Amino acid sequence: SEKLGLFSEEKLDYYENQKAKIKEFMPTNPTLESYQLTLWQKSLIQEKSLLN
């Protein structure tokens, strides 16, 4: 099977799952400091806000 690095299917599935969790639990006006998020989740939130 081809290696796609960070964009392997497994990683993309995890990425999508994390985005779904963040969307579900993120308050409307998030203050990230008040939430115990991993750096990975914080970077996902930052990417999400850049994409919107």
What pLDDT is recorded for position 32? Answer: 53
Mean of pLDDT values over 3-14:
67
In a domain? residue 3 = no
In a domain? residue 40 = yes
In a domain? residue 31 = yes
The answer on pLDDT for 43 being more than 70 is yes
Label residue 30 exposed, middle or buried (CB < 10 Å: 0-12, 13-18, 19+).
Answer: middle
In a domain? residue 14 = yes
In a domain? residue 38 = yes
Q: Tell me how crowded residue 41 is: count the other CB atoms within 10 A of its CB.
A: 18
Residue 32 domain boundaries: 9-51
In a domain? residue 4 = no
Q: How far apart are CA 6 and CA 1, in angstroms?
A: 15
- The model's pTM: 0.31
Cβ atoms of residues 40 and 18 within 8 Å: yes
| Number of domains present in the structure of the chain | 1
Q: What percentage of the chain reaches a pLDDT higher than 70?
A: 56
In a domain? residue 18 = yes
Q: Tell me how crowded residue 50 is: count the other CB atoms within 10 A of its CB.
A: 7
pLDDT digits (tens, 9 = 90+) for 20-41: 777 776 655 555 555 556 777 7
In a domain? residue 2 = no
